[in-house]
Chains A and B, each alone.
Chain A
Amino acid sequence: MNSQGFAALHARQAIPRGQVPQMPFADFRGSIVDAVAGGQRVAALFGDVPDSTGNVDLYAVLADSSRALVRVGKTTLDSDRFPSLTPDCPPVHLFERELAEQYGLRPEGHPWLKPVRFHASYRPGHDAWDRRPGEHPVIGVTDFFRVEGEEIHEVAVGPIHAGVIEPGHFRFQCHGEQVFHLEISLGYQHRGVERVLVGGPGKRTIHLMEQVSGDTSVGHATAYCQAVEALAGVEPSLRAQVLRGVALELERLANHTGDLGALAGDVGFLPTSSYCGRLRGDFLNLTALLCGSRFGRGMVRPGGVGFDLDAGRIKQCLERLEGAFRDVSSAANLLWNSASVLARFEGTGAISQDTCVALGMVGPAARACGLECDVRRDFPTGIFRFKLVPVSSWITGDVFARAYVRWLEIQRSVAFVKDQLQVFPEGPIRAIVGPLKPDHLVVSLVEGWRGEICHVALTDSQGRFSRYKIVDPSFHNWMGLAMALRDQQISDFPLCNKSFNLSYCGHDL
């Protein structure tokens, strides 16, 4: 059996919920396992409680990049227990933990069934760990993986870290300096985003989207807007799509530049660290030139964009982009020409392509393992349907590769923005978004700077969201960081962590 039982649709094509194939659990499970074995990726796996029976529907969204299609299927569980997919299909391991936590389901045979974000079940009375109803679970109280042995020691870090960064808990099982195993336990940033989206869209929705992960405001806002536009049957003007594309690439430029600087800082190479720290701000200020906010707040709006560009602003944007790019180029090239930097980057935190595929990783971290995946090419939407951004990859899967892929992407994003701003289509920047189609489903994909952002919206009979699923790229990639640390020195953790630079709040939602 293969995923043919699933409905094939284009990213951001809304279909009636009735057209989502309903199948017995065994077929649902088999289809996913076979599809992943055949090279497709699980973009989302989530639950929904559609009616008063209280039974949970499971939806799976598979990304079939060879055909530029997403495949959707569903099953209805008649009990809280089902045979876990994870032993046969590792990429769903975290999705199944999420299902267990949100709906009190028990994927039986899951090797690693622990809470993801430490919140109470969405279905009172159903709890995967038989915790007391009505009480908020205490974060961090769970079974941690432990290596036993006389010379083994455990290092626990966080939730509060040394730097000015987000909170998370890391436990290392070490033998001397050597890390046998790293367990990452998150949830400290959990703000309950998905649940408050139910019943929307409303006046708060777009602002929430911009803060799902605050350094990816444009990415998540674009994914959301594509979803509601598909549900309302509205197409933003070409001009608006160009502006969204430009904002998305500026977001990528700022973050990639900042990451190169931070990586340089973590190996004590201060020149690039200082320059990129400043240059990151130059790219943020370019975004502020567009919309007044360094983080792109207010730029992407349902139906189009909130701000237009005039000729003077475009000229200024191009000049400043040119200057910033010149400085980033020389700052980055210092890295590749410094033996001391390369000695620290090369071979550190390597993951094999097999591991990368087995975990279902996305974005620059996956491309650094030689995987040719990029939503902008594989599932193009908006302006990326008309302008191909070449996929940047490297093969070594180590810190060097993750840094170098960022540098390749910086060059290509700059070329894209320059290209788009030079020939700028006329037209309105925003269209009216009417009521959403009732009882529909849509999948929206965007290549954020960390990788694939997946939003899935389900509407009810009134055209309001009955379920809104957000998958930040970090959700796929945190396990990659854990694997990258195996057999590394614990002192290389900051470097490895920065080379992924994953989102805590995007994961925790």
Chain B
Amino acid sequence: MINILWERVRQGHRTIAYPVGDPPPLPDRFRGLPVLDESKCADGCRGCAEACPTDAIARDDQGLRLDLGRCLFCTDCVDACPEGAIRYTQDYRLATTTREDLVLRNGQELKLAQPLEQKMRRLFGRSLKLRQVCAGGDSSAEADLNVLGTVVFDLGRFGIQFVASPRHADGLVVTGPVTENMRLALLTAYEAVPAPKLVIAVGVDAISGGIFRDHPEVHNGVEGLLPVDLYIPGNPPHPMSILDGFLRMLGRLERNEPRTVPVTAQPHPALLPVAT
């Protein structure tokens, strides 16, 4: 018993001060919000778009376009661009209210998630119960949702809690590209949640199918199956991105001051091309 108490003292207090204090430091190689600088693009160059494994990047008549709802936050575009027209920053704030807001354009700022309208905020603002449904998720987004329940993030202090039954829930948190084999279970769980209800798509798989997009066995995420109230991109999203999205949606991040965010450290000089 004494050992348990001593260990309790030794392990100390570990809950982060955020959102009252600063967010915890992220690794310098963390790939958060990408920024586009089209002025660096060579004429007619489509290197990034061709390298992108999920066709998240395109160059159309309006210029360079990056869909965060499809982005794996990998390094393939950065490696393919000798000019550095695409760079990652360490900005973990990625969540949006609409699917269209996830599309980045040159020089445009990401329109972060807006608070729910007043009635919904009054209902859920200080108590939000969520049922998580993994529909083909690879267990990484699920793991980082579980992380929010640890002493570090302590989701309970915001009144947000994952519950076992959809009937006890105010909304669904969906992960995974929605396999055909989970479609019915997902829709049934949604039906079981009492109205008004929310749907939160966590991770690129749930938003667009991610790397599994257009596989015959998947549905390209929840799009077209369920109405989504909050999109949290990432592969998987960092726990801070998820927490930021939840709090933003609930209108609990009043301090929305612009911060200067460091650019993500480049791994090393341009990689060798890989012939496959």
Measuring CB to CB, which residues of chain A are less than 8 angstroms from any residue of chain B?
117-119, 136, 139, 159-160, 162-167, 187-193, 195-196, 200-205, 207-208, 211-215, 217, 228, 258, 271, 274-275, 277-278, 280-281, 285, 288-295, 297-298, 301-303, 306-308, 327, 330-331, 334, 337-338, 429-436, 503-505
Chain B residue numbers with a CB within 8 Å of A289 are 27, 29
Identify which of B10, B53, B238 gathers the most chain A CB atoms within 10 Å of its CB: B53
Q: What residue of chain A has the Cβ atom nearest to residue B144's Cβ?
A: A294
Chain A residue numbers with a CB within 8 Å of B51 are 203
B179 touches A188 (CB 8 A): yes
Provide the bound-state CA to CA distance between A212 and B136, in Å.
10
Given contacts A214-B236, A295-B140, A302-B276, contact A118 B133 (CB under 8 A): no
Chain A residue numbers with a CB within 8 Å of B45 are none
B274 touches A292 (CB 8 A): no
Q: What residue of chain A has the Cβ atom nearest to residue B181's Cβ?
A: A139
Provide the bound-state CA to CA distance between A50 and B137, in Å.
32
Please classify the interface of chain B as helix (H, G, I), strand (E, B), loop, or mixed, using the class held by over half of its residues.
loop
What 16 additional pairs, Cβ within 8 angstroms, besides A164-B142, A192-B216, A432-B273? A163-B164, A166-B142, A188-B185, A189-B181, A190-B136, A191-B136, A192-B215, A196-B215, A203-B76, A207-B72, A215-B139, A217-B140, A294-B144, A295-B140, A308-B267, A330-B11
Provide the bound-state CA to CA distance between A290 and B28, in Å.
10
A214 touches B139 (CB 8 A): yes
Identify which of B3, B51, B164, B181 gathers the most chain A CB atoms within 10 Å of its CB: B181
Chain B residue numbers with a CB within 8 Å of A298 are 74-75
Provide the bound-state CA to CA distance between A162 and B169, in Å.
12
A334 touches B267 (CB 8 A): no
Cβ distance B262 to chain A, nearest Cβ, rounded Å: 13
B268 touches A191 (CB 8 A): no
Cβ distance B175 to chain A, nearest Cβ, rounded Å: 9
Sample 23 A-B pairs with CB under 8 A, ordered by A number. A139-B184, A159-B182, A163-B164, A164-B162, A188-B181, A191-B212, A202-B276, A204-B54, A207-B74, A211-B205, A214-B140, A215-B139, A275-B7, A277-B151, A281-B150, A288-B26, A289-B29, A292-B30, A293-B73, A307-B268, A430-B271, A431-B272, A434-B275
Interface residue ranges of B148-175 to A (CB < 8 Å): 149-152, 162, 164
Chain A residue numbers with a CB within 8 Å of B106 are none
- Cβ of B255 within 8 Å of any chain A Cβ, yes or no, is no
B138 touches A212 (CB 8 A): yes
A192 touches B181 (CB 8 A): no
A160 touches B133 (CB 8 A): yes
- Cβ of B189 within 8 Å of any chain A Cβ, yes or no, is yes
Chain B residue numbers with a CB within 8 Å of A211 are 138, 140, 205, 210-212
Q: What residue of chain A has the Cβ atom nearest to residue B166's Cβ?
A: A160
Chain A residue numbers with a CB within 8 Å of B177 are 191
B272 touches A303 (CB 8 A): yes
B74 touches A288 (CB 8 A): no
Interface residue ranges of B68-114 to A (CB < 8 Å): 72-76
Q: What residue of chain A has the Cβ atom nearest to residue B15's Cβ?
A: A278
Chain B residue numbers with a CB within 8 Å of A214 are 137-141, 143, 236
Cβ distance B199 to chain A, nearest Cβ, rounded Å: 15
Measuring CB to CB, which residues of chain B are less than 8 angstroms from any residue of chain A?
3-4, 7-8, 10-11, 14, 26-27, 29-31, 51-54, 72-76, 132-147, 149-152, 162, 164, 176-177, 179-182, 184-185, 189, 205, 210-212, 215-218, 235-236, 238-239, 264, 267-268, 271-276
Contact of B7 (CB < 8 Å), options: A159, A271, A288, A433: A271
A118 touches B31 (CB 8 A): no
Chain B residue numbers with a CB within 8 Å of A504 are 139
A159 touches B138 (CB 8 A): no
Given contacts A214-B138, A278-B14, contact A291 B29 (CB under 8 A): yes
Provide the bound-state CA to CA distance between A505 and B146, in Å.
17
Contact of A288 (CB < 8 Å), options: B27, B164, B180: B27
Please classify the interface of chain A as helix (H, G, I), strand (E, B), loop, or mixed, using the class held by over half of its residues.
loop
Given contacts A204-B53, A204-B211, contact A306 B267 (CB under 8 A): yes
Contact of A191 (CB < 8 Å), options: B29, B218, B274: B218
Provide the bound-state CA to CA distance between A433 and B271, in Å.
12
A159 touches B185 (CB 8 A): yes
Cβ distance B102 to chain A, nearest Cβ, rounded Å: 19
A189 touches B182 (CB 8 A): yes
Identify which of B11, B134, B239 gathers the most chain A CB atoms within 10 Å of its CB: B134
Chain A residue numbers with a CB within 8 Å of B164 are 162-163
CB-based closest 5 A-B pairs? A214-B138, A214-B140, A292-B29, A192-B217, A162-B164
Q: What residue of chain A has the Cβ atom nearest to residue B50's Cβ?
A: A203
Provide the bound-state CA to CA distance between A435 and B276, in Å.
6
A188 touches B275 (CB 8 A): no
Chain B residue numbers with a CB within 8 Å of A193 are 212, 215
B75 touches A306 (CB 8 A): yes
Given contacts A189-B179, A274-B150, A291-B29, contact A307 B267 (CB under 8 A): yes
Chain A residue numbers with a CB within 8 Å of B143 are 214-215, 258, 295
B135 touches A167 (CB 8 A): yes
Provide the bound-state CA to CA distance between A288 and B211, in Å.
21
Contact of B74 (CB < 8 Å), options: A119, A215, A297: A297
Chain A residue numbers with a CB within 8 Å of B236 are 214, 295
Cβ distance B163 to chain A, nearest Cβ, rounded Å: 9
Chain A residue numbers with a CB within 8 Å of B14 are 278
B27 touches A292 (CB 8 A): yes
